[in-house]
Amino acid sequence: MPVPWFLLSLALGRSPIVLSLERLVGPQDATHCSPGLSCHLWDSDILCLPGDIVPAPGPVLAPTHLQTELVLRCRKETYCDLCVRVAVHLAVHGHWEEPEDEEKFGGAADPGVEEPRNASLQAQVVLSFQAYPTTRCVLLEVQVPAALVQFGQSVGSVVYDCFEAALGSEVRIWSYTQPRYEKELNLTQQLPDCRGLEVRNSIPSCWALPWLNVSADGDNVHLVLNVSEEQHFGLSLYWNQTGPQIITLNHTDLVPCLCIQVWPLEPDSVRTNICPFREDPRAHQNLWRAARLRLLTLQSWLLDAPCSLPAEAALCWQAPGGDPCQPLVPPLSWENVTVDKVLEFPLLKGHPNLCVQVNSWEKLQLQECLWADSLGPLKDDVLLLETRGPQDNRSLCALEPSGCTSLPSKASTRAARLGEYLLQDLQSGQCLQLWDNDLGALWACSMDKYIHKRWALLWLACLLFAAALSLILLLKKDHAKAAARGRAALLLYSADDSGFERLVGALASALCQLPLRVAVDLWSRREMSAQGPVAWFHAQRRQTLQEGGVVVLLFSPGAVALCSEWLQDGMSAPGAHGPHDAFRASLSCVLPDFLQGRAPGRYVGACFDRLLHPDSVPALFRTVPVFSLPSQLPDFLGALQQPRAPRPRRLQERAEHVSRALQPALDSYFHPPGTPAPGRGVGPGAGDGT
C-alpha cells in the first residue's frame, strides 16, 4: 500500500518504524484519474513556464490540493529507485456570464448560447517537480463530463506516476493550469532516508543501512555491521570487505566525538553516520586523559583536546606541600574555554605557583601549573590579596590553606605571625605584583629571609622533622599508589588460532578488573609493529620486572611445540612466519632468565583446562608454578598479587569474579555452535590458519 508522507513524518523519529512501499514495474511514466474523468499524459516533458494569470472565460478546472505518496520504480527485483507519486485534486471555479439580451429584455436567450453550459470542461494541468539537481515539468490533459460540472465543487483527481528522487533530498512541487487562471499550488517535502523504509534489498544506495550495533567485550568495544554476504561496504577508516564484519576498537581510543560513517560502494550512495560514544563515560575519561594545557606567552594559553567540550577555566594558587590548589575566584572569574582557541588571563607577571584549573560539568578535570616549566619549581611564597573599596579603602589578606588571613592579625597562622614584615615588604616594593585592576590586586611575597633570620634553628629542626615525616608519608603514599594501581603483569602466549586469541583477550580483560595492570600484545599491535616484536617484548619485560611485576607464560599446544623446538635448536632456530612470530620473539627474552635461575618469583605459568595438562609444559619452565585455569584460579591470582596477596576470602571472591568473566569465552572456544571444538592441533601449524 502506498505510504502518505504524513504517516512517514510520524514514523521517522529517533527509532523509525520500517514501512514497505508499493512497487511500479518499468520505466514509463503514467497517469490515471478518478471515475468519470478522462485524462491523458503528454509523451514528453514541457518547458516550465507558468506565465501570467489571465481572466477565466467561464467555468474552468483548477487545482485545489496536492497529495504525495512514495513508491518504488523497479527495473529489476533488487534494483529500484525512490519515486514520488503526485495526486492533483481538481474543482470547478468561475461561472457562466449571463447573456446581455436576456438581462436587458427579460426574454429567452438564443438556444445556441445554452450549448456551452451543457458541454464538458477540459483543462491542461502542469506538474512542476524540482529536486536537486533535477527539474521536470509534465502536462496532463483532463476532461470532465457536463454531468459532473458543479460550480465550486470538487470533480475528482488526476494521479501522475511518478517523479524519481534521491533518498533524503528535499523536493518542491508546483501545479497550475495552462493558461494559468489562478495562483499555482506548491508543496515542499523532505524525503526520508533508508532507515524508515523497507527498501534495504531494493535500492542500491540502501544496501548498507545504519543498523550499526555496538557491544562491549571487557574493555573492548565491538562495532557490528549487519550487511548481506554478497555486498561490499566502506568505512571512513577506510575498510573494504564483503559480508558481515566485527571491528574491534581499543577502549583507550574511544572519545565522545569519534563517529563512524558507512556506505555501499555504489555511485552516489547515501553515507550513514553514527556517533555512539557521545555519552560513554569511558570516552569522556579518555578525552580528559588526552587533554593538555599549553602556555604560549606570559598571558596566553590554549587547551589541546581531541574533541570540543564544554569547559571553563580559572587561575588557582598552588602552595608547596601538596595542599589543594586554591582558586582565585574572586577576585578573578571563571572563563569559558574553547578547544584550540587562544585564551588570555590579565596577568602582569608569571609565577610558578600560579596554576590553571579546568572544570567541566562542575567537576575538576584538569590542572596544570603552566609557568613552573619556565620559572622553576613551586616557591614558598605568600600570596596577598588586596581589595579596594570606595574612597581608597584598602584591605589585605594572606592566602593560606585555612583561608585568607587578614593582615595585620593576631591569629596563630604563619602569615599572621609574619604579617608586620609582609606589610613592610609590600610597602617597600619587595613583593611581586601579579595582577591589578580597579577592584584589587595580587602580590607574591617571599618568606625565605624571615625564616632564616628569626627562626633558623627552630626551622632547621622543623625542616628535618618535616622532611622525615614527608619521606615517610611519601613512601606510604607511593606504596598506597602502587597498591591502588596494582601489580604489573605481562601476558605472553602463542596465537594458535583466532579463537585462542579471543580467549586470551577475555582473560586479560578479566584480570584488568583486579588490582593488576595487564600488558598484552593484543592491545599494543601498533607499538609492536613500529618497534618490532623482539624490541617490544624486551622493553615490556624490563619495565614489568623493574616495577616488581610478574611475567605470565600462557601455555598452549602451539606454545609447547615452539618452546620444545627452541630448546632443541637453540638460538640458531630459524625465524617463524605466521601468527607465532610474536611468541617466538618473546622466547629470546624469557629463556635466559630460566637458564640462569632468575625466573622464580618473577614468572608464573598457566594453561587452560581441557586444552593442556601442566605436565606437558617443558621441564625447564616448570621451575616456576604452572596453574591450570580456571580450576586453580585462586592460587593463580594469589601468585600474581604477591607479595601482598589479599585475604583468602577476598581472593576467593576475585577468583569467582574472574571465572564468571572467563566462562563465556571458554564455552565459545571449546563448544562453538555448529563447528567442532578448536584448539585440537599441536604446534605452529595448528589452528584455523587465519
CA distance 63 to 88: 6
Write down the pLDDT at residue 376: 81
For the segment 166-179, what is each residue's pLDDT rounded down to a tens digit? 888 889 999 999 88
377-407 pLDDT, tens digit per residue, is: 888 888 888 888 777 777 888 888 888 888 8
Flag whether pLDDT at 109 surpasses 70: no
133 upstream amide cis, omega within 30 of 0: yes
End-to-end alpha-carbon separation of the chain, Å? 48
Q: What pLDDT digit, counting tens, does each position of 612-669 carry?
A: 989 989 988 999 999 998 889 888 888 887 666 567 788 888 888 888 888 888 888 8
Identify whether the C-beta of residue 294 lies closer than 8 Å to the C-beta of residue 302: yes
Helix (H) or strand (E) holding 404: strand 403-407
Tens-digit pLDDT profile for residues 323-359: 888 888 777 888 888 887 888 877 888 888 888 888 8
Span 271-279, average pLDDT = 83
Indicate whether 66 pLDDT > 90: yes
pLDDT band at 265 (very low <50, low <70, confident <90, very high): confident
pTM greater than the 0.95 cutoff: no
Mean pLDDT taken over the chain: 78
Closest CA to 327 of 378, 394, 385: 385
Burial class (CB in 10 A: 0-12, 13-18, 19+), 411: middle
Measured CA to CA, the distance from residue 66 to residue 89 in angstroms comes to 6
